[in-house]
Amino acid sequence: MAQTSKNKPPQAVAAQAAKGLKLREAFKRGGTQVGVARARDLKDRKELSEDTIKRMVSYFARHKVDKRAANFGDDDNPSAGYVAWLLWGGDAGRDWAAKQKKASASETKD
């Protein structure tokens, strides 16, 4: 029987997205409307489509350079890139999305 919540973000991802939303509200920077929408879905632990997970993997691949910026990881004065990274689930989101994409690819091969 198919598991219905296989693409439901884990609590760690939801927590990072919620933190990103709080920092964005507090500092008025970081992320796009797409990132905000993604953060809301992650925070609410909504089931994500395989296409959305692929977009998450692509986002993290494109934006890993943001981690080199000044104030990345600084909760007291966060860089816009740090806030955006958190909106997409942070490192927990990156790792989870990569794992989900890999699992999906191996299911397709079966």
pLDDT, tens only, 70-80: 999 999 999 99
- The C-alpha atoms of residue 106 and residue 109 are separated, in whole angstroms, by 5
Where are the chain's structural domains? 11-109
| 57-94 pLDDT per residue, tens | 999 999 999 999 999 999 999 999 999 999 999 999 99
Q: Say which residue the tokens 């692929």 belong to.
A: 54
- The C-alpha atoms of residue 44 and residue 46 are separated, in whole angstroms, by 5
**25 touches 40 (CB < 8 A):** no
Q: What angle do CA 62, 84, 4 make, to 5 degrees?
A: 85
Which value, to the nearest 10 degrees, does the dihedral of the CA atoms of residues 105, 106, 108, 110 take?
170
pTM score, two decimals?
0.92
Q: Is 18 exposed, middle or buried (0-12, 13-18, 19+ CB in 10 A)?
A: middle
Supply the DSSP symbol for 64. G
